[in-house]
Structure 1
């Protein structure tokens, strides 16, 4: 019979691999999916996330605004469909940060605020009033939101201990008389919720998604070739191109037809316009996929990478232009969020964008 006072041990088995390991895993660890990341947010980070998410709603409303009054009145973010704003047709988003799933008692207070303040004509009854929380709504609250009669019953039964003294900081709000009649007739089906999966899906449409959650940038759309006619938006860099050609050939060259005697210049001119439109396509891509200012930072990085070359001595303006775009093509960009989407054509094209606003000059006085 074994001695029960003597512990026995079994060797641990070797850990089993959970999948292919990559250099990315070694540097950054495994990527947390957005739903997991949200669960780690502080109240401040949750607030920033909601501000980013609100940007995705702007296409659905005339205006999306955050409430900033002394009492929140049950409103965090509002989406207005017309110029009447809070007195017109609008949707309410209650986006509080809670460490646990949002339960009936906290939601009942927010329902009470909407009841009271709409009764007081502080705003029109919202078309919909959404509850949004990092850990979503509890099962109990989801059941109430799915049954307006039961939601109303819960609010009425718990009014005194949940709502009465917390709706405003200036007075106790009792559920009596005309206000009670108003609350009795109120349409409680306006109260609903958005899950974190829905919020993340809508956040995905914003310029902040890739920076916040990782996973890389989406594939860029195919670049549209430049139109035959020079556009007003590209007039200055094109003017600078002809100044460079004129300086190189010691002749007055002002338009594409003037280059017909030199096939290499015609080809060069066509390539530079393609490069410019590549960079413009990147600018448009950046507008929707990364935070504002990201493309400007990329331009600045390229500018500082080539400005000393642009400012140096060159035999003529075309040689200067080619030296600058060659240097740009070989710049080792380091930290900009757009790096994975940037091509050699883009880097050269940015030089023409800079020339388009006279930050780079090919023909020096």
Structure 2
């Protein structure tokens, strides 16, 4: 044995501030491999519902049959609402190692027996899902052109290893009409579903961050400001026009004359305000599609309102000062933790003030008796 000096270890290049504060993150596959059998089945159920049903539209209904009496069906996707015959089955097999043929023969035997007895319809597909996937031997047997029938029958008829399948206390024997049924069974419906495919598909759902962390997975779309005025923005625009008329005394000012113009301070302010409003609207729509359950964009709006309302209700010499000081205050707020926080920029925080004005939660021109000039 030889001893040698250890030079000063350097900080790993992948080390981040988040890692120092919360510890290193595991890859989603590592999380899945650490799940209990029940937790793994719950994950597959979420993937089938939120991705296959909600995003892809593959199924009208998803059901979980896990537990005793599931007849080899853990999660089922029904193609139509009222036809239980056309369905795909997802068999969740939770083992510490990759799935071997011997692990799966009982499931194939169970499938054949229950379909033969007409206890369940023959599924359109039976997908095998396992945290560490199927091993190479089982994968070869289930691949196109592979042979799963021969080794399945060999194991079924090997009495030295005990019964392959029992129902109640009785061993299910491979003989007679049932053996002919198994010989003719189309085992091509049985297919492995790689766990990384499941994870990458689940990444497209709003539940991914809730289960695996790491922030929201979808990028924020680019903001598009409509060239024409929309009915959905009418109230905050009314409030802005009231500000401009109040401060200038010019009752001819209107939104259409300001739209797209850069010739005056007022028109530039108006069009910047529209841009910021639609920055905030982009985040509102993004939140609707991306936020995990239990989080709402309205929480951010409420927090901004609490942070600026005292400013908005203060006295100013002009109404435009109230607008500008309120939106400026919003851009300086330190908000609480929220999945949307990384997406909130100066423009969107200012735009939230205009959303609040659009809902009459902020008012720019004081009522009669107030002091705005």
TM-score band, normalised by shorter chain: 0.7 to 0.9
For residues 269 and 338 of structure 1, the distance between their equivalents in structure 2, rounded to whole angstroms, comes to 27
Alignment of 1:191 onto 2:190:
yes
- Deviation per residue, 1:183-227 (Å, 9 max, x gap): 332211111112222122212222233452427756433322x22
Q: Is the 8 A contact 1:253 1:259 kept in 2?
A: no
Q: Is the 8 A contact 2:149 2:183 kept in 1?
A: no
Q: Is the 8 A contact 2:134 2:192 kept in 1?
A: yes
Alignment of 1:234 onto 2:233:
yes
Q: How does 1:348-363 map to 2 (within 5 A)?
A: 348-363=350-365
Q: How does 1:164-175 map to 2 (within 5 A)?
A: 164-165=166-167
For residues 158 and 264 of structure 2, the distance between their equivalents in structure 1, rounded to whole angstroms, comes to 84
Aligned length: 353
1:57 aligned counterpart, secondary structure: helix
- Deviation per residue, 1:92-141 (Å, 9 max, x gap): 21234434433434433333443344345455422221111222223443
Q: How does 1:1-365 map to 2 (within 5 A)?
A: 10-11=3-4, 13-14=6-7, 16-17=9-10, 19-20=12-13, 21-43=15-37, 45-54=39-48, 55-58=50-53, 59-68=56-65, 71-88=69-86, 90-121=87-118, 123-146=120-143, 147-150=147-150, 152-153=152-153, 156-157=156-157, 161-165=163-167, 178-211=177-210, 212-214=212-214, 217=217, 219-224=219-224, 226-249=225-248, 255-257=254-256, 263-292=264-293, 293-313=295-315, 318-363=320-365
For residues 331 and 306 of structure 2, the distance between their equivalents in structure 1, rounded to whole angstroms, comes to 13
Q: Is the 8 A contact 1:148 1:189 kept in 2?
A: no
Q: Is the 8 A contact 2:163 2:172 kept in 1?
A: no
Residues 272 and 188 of structure 1, relative CA distance in 2, 3 Å threshold: same
**TM-score, normalization by structure 2:** 0.77
- Deviation per residue, 1:158-183 (Å, 9 max, x gap): 797243227xxx99866565544433
For residues 158 and 244 of structure 1, the distance between their equivalents in structure 2, rounded to whole angstroms, comes to 88
* Higher RCO structure (Cα 8 Å, ≥6 apart): 1
How much has 1:345 moved relative to structure 2? 0.9
Q: Is the 8 A contact 1:209 1:290 kept in 2?
A: no
- Deviation per residue, 1:227-283 (Å, 9 max, x gap): 222223333333333344444445657841365999322222211211121122223
**TM-score, normalization by structure 1:** 0.78
- Of residues 135-144 and 254-263 in structure 1, the stretch that sits farther from structure 2 once superposed is 254-263
Residues 204 and 257 of structure 1, relative CA distance in 2, 3 Å threshold: closer
For residues 122 and 362 of structure 1, the distance between their equivalents in structure 2, rounded to whole angstroms, comes to 69
- Of residues 185-194 and 345-354 in structure 1, the stretch that sits farther from structure 2 once superposed is 345-354
2:72 aligned counterpart, secondary structure: coil
Residues 9 and 330 of structure 1, relative CA distance in 2, 3 Å threshold: same
For residues 322 and 158 of structure 1, the distance between their equivalents in structure 2, rounded to whole angstroms, comes to 83
Q: Is the 8 A contact 2:308 2:329 kept in 1?
A: yes
Residues 114 and 268 of structure 1, relative CA distance in 2, 3 Å threshold: farther
Structure 1 spans left out of the alignment, 5+ residues: 1-7
For residues 314 and 41 of structure 2, the distance between their equivalents in structure 1, rounded to whole angstroms, comes to 49
For residues 223 and 106 of structure 2, the distance between their equivalents in structure 1, rounded to whole angstroms, comes to 52
For residues 357 and 38 of structure 2, the distance between their equivalents in structure 1, rounded to whole angstroms, comes to 41
For residues 141 and 237 of structure 1, the distance between their equivalents in structure 2, rounded to whole angstroms, comes to 63
